[in-house]
Amino acid sequence: MKNSGADELAKKMKVKLDKDNFPEWYSEIVELSGLVDKRYPIKGMNVWLPYGWELMRNIDEVIRREMRKTSHKEVCFPLLIPQSEFQKEADHIKGFSDEVYWVTHGGSTPLDIPLLLRPTSETAMYPMFSLWVRSHSDLPLKIFQIVNVFRYETKQTRPFIRMREIHFFEAHTCHRDFEEAEKQIQEDLEIMDSVAKELCLPYLKLVRPEWDKFAGAFYSVGIDTLMPSGRTLQIASIHQYKDNFARAYRIMYEDESGEHRYAHQTTYGMSERLIGAVVGMHGDNRGIVLPPAVAPIQVIVVPIPKKGMKEVVEEEALKVKEELAGAGMRVEIDLRDLRPGAKFYDWELKGVPLRLEIGTRDIEEEVVTAVKRNTFEKRKIPIKELLKSVKELLDEVQSELYSAAENFLKEHIFTVRNLKDEAEAYRGIEGVIRVNWCGDMKCAEELEVSLDKSFLGFPPEEKPDGPCAVCGGKAAEVVYLSKSY
């Protein structure tokens, strides 16, 4: 930890982070903060470093907790899918065929049936579902897995946001009928709310247009966050399949009257993009800022001794650390032989939500100095109230991160009422455009071209509040448009 650490740090300190240049900032920050190493020699596949992996596992745990609450059971399916099963649902293959990695040989022997690496697991799971689902008493079937999926991305890859190997959560359910599947989707949306609160990610919930729905779905709901660059990032999607896949894979059950019926299905997907959103949304020119609910280190304790006081101060700092650790907090102490400023720099870069500084005078006054990562607000807290105050401060960081992101989202949704008059003004604007739309594809195209943004989807809870922004005719839907990742 001596010289090499300091050298590394000095090298890092030369990097000037500039969040106004979002793509470059993002690309630097994910590595500088110790989340990933991008030097692995396959495009779109990075190495998870311990800090990044711990963050991902904490997020996974939030998801697992929600799954347990809603009676989903965790499974783990094989990575390989036979070509024959993959091909059963026509729309699904069309949607994924260009993105599939194939396994064609075992050693030098060609395989009888080529195998593919799962790009998602419908076609792996549903042949098994058809064996598992027999009677109405087998329903609902609610399972999930957290695994890696593989997609041959041809667009520019970006850590966490667009990868070829993706850390992926997928829930799959079977129900008796459409209505029960609809209730599942409501439950999924509630789960989304809880997960997003923990990650401090306010979002838009939009039904995707027909041409942008998931391959094989009846409809898809996209969950989008707005990045500081003004582009949206989809962080989750929820799909109503109706009985589309059940027909292809013969997932049938016998109802009470002995009649055989197709199951209705839903899926719910999230991925490491959640980290991409957290990094992008909350970070600043000093580094990433992690929500306390998922931060691998919630509190960093930094002793700042005067000359000759090293042992006394460190001992006091260790006591503070142990008290917090004893209460179940994720806390570490920085005893490295570095200047305090260099230590602060390091932990700010890594986005630790709360720093506790303990100096000689703090000990005399029986306080510690707390500094919030998001606002850099400093507060002296009495040692006697350590635990209570630290909990309060972490809660504050959590809610301040959420409100800041929520304000940003609200301030970047613009309603355009008359395309002809307003297109010029809104074309270059960063953010989301909201319009009333008549449903005509010609008007849709004109909106996309004039605003230089794409249809993101329809908010299920909003009704048109004026005529179509293009033709002035009666509006059928409210539409959100944006540029997206």
Which structure tokens are listed for 3? 């010289």
Element (H, E) at 90: helix 90-96
CB of 468 to Zn ion, least distance (A): 3
Does the footprint of Zn ion cover residue 333 (CB under 5 A)? Answer: no
Give the whole-angstrom CA distance, residue 201 versus residue 193. Answer: 9
Quick check: 381 and 371 in contact, CB under 8 A?
A: no
Strand spans (E) along 305-410: 331-333, 354-359, 367-372, 378-382
- Establish how many alpha carbons lie within 13 A of residue 171's alpha carbon, considering only the half-sphere containing its beta carbon: 30
For the chain, give the number of residues: 485
CB of 220 to Zn ion, least distance (A): 24
Does the footprint of Zn ion cover residue 419 (CB under 5 A)? Answer: no
Surface-to-core class of residue 20, CB atoms within 10 Å of its CB (0-12 exposed, 13-18 middle, 19+ buried):
exposed
**Interface positions, 441-460, toward Zn ion (CB under 5 A):** 443
For the chain, helix, strand, coil in percent to 5 are 40, 30, 30
Among 281, 470, 479, 481, binds Zn ion (CB under 5 A): 470
**Interface positions, 86-145, toward Zn ion (CB under 5 A):** none
Maximum pairwise Cα distance, the chain: 85
CB of 483 to Zn ion, least distance (A): 22
CB of 127 to Zn ion, least distance (A): 45
Does the footprint of Zn ion cover residue 468 (CB under 5 A)? Answer: yes
CA-based R_g, the chain, Å: 26
Closer residue to Zn ion (CB): 333 or 443? 443
Residues that contact Zn ion, how many (by CB under 5 A): 7
CB of 447 to Zn ion, least distance (A): 9
Closer residue to Zn ion (CB): 235 or 468? 468
Does the footprint of Zn ion cover residue 435 (CB under 5 A)? Answer: no
Among 270, 433, 438, 479, binds Zn ion (CB under 5 A): 438
CB of 472 to Zn ion, least distance (A): 7
CB of 279 to Zn ion, least distance (A): 39
Of the listed pieces 167-175, 195-203, 239-247, 440-448, which binds Zn ion according to CB under 5 A?
A: 440-448
Closer residue to Zn ion (CB): 217 or 447? 447
Does the footprint of Zn ion cover residue 471 (CB under 5 A)? Answer: yes
Quick check: 374 and 292 in contact, CB under 8 A?
A: no
Q: How large is the angle between the packed helices 22-32 and 273-282, nearest 10 degrees?
A: 110
- Residues in contact with Zn ion by CB under 5 A are 438, 440, 443, 468, 470-471, 473
